Amino acid sequence: MRAYAITCFCEPVVPVDSADPQPTGTEVVVEVTRCGVCHTDLHLQDGYYDLGGGKRLSLVDRGIKPPVVMGHEVLGRLVAKGPDAPISDDQVGKTFLVYPWIGCGTCETCLRGDENLCAKPSSLGVFRPGGYADKCVVPHPKYLVDVTGIEPTLAATYACSGLTAYSALRKLDINKERDLLVLMGAGGVGLSGLQLAIAMGYRNIAVADIDPAKRDLAQSNGATYVFDPREPDSASKLLAQAGSVAAAVDFVGAKATADFAIASLRKGGTYIAVGLFGGEITLSMPPLVQRAITLRGSYVGNLAELKELIALVKLGKLKPLPVEAVAFDRVNDALQRLRAGKVQGRLVLAR
């Protein structure tokens, strides 16, 4: 089989050939037919996250060492199962979406169902080989999700961009009919967030993006109000035209987006950080208390949430995210296009 791996941080991925994996224990093997290309992959390629103030979070310090086979939005055909894998033979040959945010499986957090928050993560495409490959080993069939009836290129994107947006939106507690929800960023995850917010019943949604093409896309996808947060009077215009901000979900996660969103919140409002662009913010303590605002992070989502999301998609309530299929051997091209910020929706490797 062939995989595309980072063999050295900051370098393009390279093809690496090896023998086909033989599943042991409860493992299953999927033949990858789709794999989404995510912003996280750019951070993996760089080898660090920007903490702001000249500080970096090195991936080596997080236990991630090359070679790394990236790719965590994996869709594939089940082709082999280990002797202890609890899945019936008639499932072999079927196509599944793979839940990638796998934990140790034994700690309290994992047993509660929040494997994405496990202190010893084993995520596909990050800590263990992912879907930029012909085949991918999944430790247990419980991570396979039935996506029958969903267009496969689109289905792949639900494992990260869809799930991340869904889990963040689920954490909100505002009036869906009346309260103003602000979404910062209309890239792949942000656009997913907009479509999901609409499907989940939010009726008053403002979307911020610095790129006019992405603002247009947000508008045509149902945003009530779009704006450029860099415009000097954007906050006062937002308040005048759309109302006070009850909650903001930051799909960028940069200093500028966080500063804007937190400053815009009304008293009692909630800010949820999702994006990993990087940077740092400074907060004065008294206003945090006096405004009684909530600041919260949200990292991908758990397996139960992915299943809820897929059920929502199957109900036909969600407008499909724009996706573009790219051949697996064009993976470096796809990563470069994403880095340049020129992707509308999501790029998905396909065969």
Closer residue to Zn ion in complex, CB, 269/301: 301
- What is the Cα–Cα distance from 184 to 273, expressed in whole angstroms? 10
* Beta strand 95-98 pairing with 73-81: antiparallel
Closer residue to Zn ion in complex, CB, 50/179: 50
Closer residue to Zn ion in complex, CB, 143/227: 143
CB of 244 to Zn ion, least distance (A): 32
- What is the Cα–Cα distance from 305 to 94, expressed in whole angstroms? 22
Closer residue to Zn ion in complex, CB, 110/208: 110
14 touches Zn ion (CB under 5 A): no
42 touches Zn ion (CB under 5 A): no
- What is the Cα–Cα distance from 201 to 192, expressed in whole angstroms? 14
Selected from 23, 76, 82, 103, the binder of Zn ion by CB under 5 A is 103
Selected from 64, 79, 104, 174, the binder of Zn ion by CB under 5 A is 104
Closer residue to Zn ion in complex, CB, 248/274: 274
Rg (CA), the chain: 20
Residue whose entry in the numeric block shows the structure tokens 């994992």 = 110
> What's the token pair of residue 73?
């939005």
CB of 301 to Zn ion, least distance (A): 11
Which residues 150-179 are close enough to bind Zn ion by CB under 5 A? 160
Binding pattern for the stretch 308-327 against Zn ion, x by CB under 5 A and - elsewhere: --------------------
CB of 269 to Zn ion, least distance (A): 27
DSSP-H helix ranges across the chain: 39-46, 108-111, 152-156, 161-170, 188-199, 212-220, 234-242, 255-264, 285-290, 303-314, 331-339
Selected from 3, 38, 97, 126, the binder of Zn ion by CB under 5 A is 38
**How many of the chain's residues bind Zn ion (CB under 5 A)?**
8
User: Does the N-terminal peptide bond of residue 83 adopt cis geometry, omega within 30 degrees of 0?
Assistant: no
Selected from 26, 40, 45, 204, the binder of Zn ion by CB under 5 A is 40
Stretch that binds Zn ion, among 3-11, 23-31, 109-117, 174-182 (CB under 5 A): 109-117
Closer residue to Zn ion in complex, CB, 104/210: 104
Selected from 1, 64, 107, 210, the binder of Zn ion by CB under 5 A is 107
Stretch that binds Zn ion, among 17-25, 30-38, 86-94, 229-237 (CB under 5 A): 30-38
- What is the Cα–Cα distance from 216 to 345, expressed in whole angstroms? 13
Which residues 117-156 are close enough to bind Zn ion by CB under 5 A? 118
Q: Which of 126, 160, 125 is nearest to 145 (CA)?
A: 160
Stretch that binds Zn ion, among 13-21, 55-63, 100-108, 260-268 (CB under 5 A): 100-108
**226 backbone dihedrals φ, ψ, rounded to 5°:** -125, 150
Closer residue to Zn ion in complex, CB, 42/104: 104
- What is the Cα–Cα distance from 18 to 20, expressed in whole angstroms? 7
- What is the Cα–Cα distance from 132 to 328, expressed in whole angstroms? 7
Stretch that binds Zn ion, among 24-32, 96-104, 286-294, 322-330 (CB under 5 A): 96-104
Supply the DSSP string of 218-257, one letter for each residue: HHHTT-SEEE-TTSTTHHHHHHHHH--EEEEEESS-BHHH
Q: Which of 157, 213, 156, 221 is nearest to 189 (CA)?
A: 157
Residues near Zn ion (CB under 5 A) are: 38, 40, 103-104, 107, 110, 118, 160
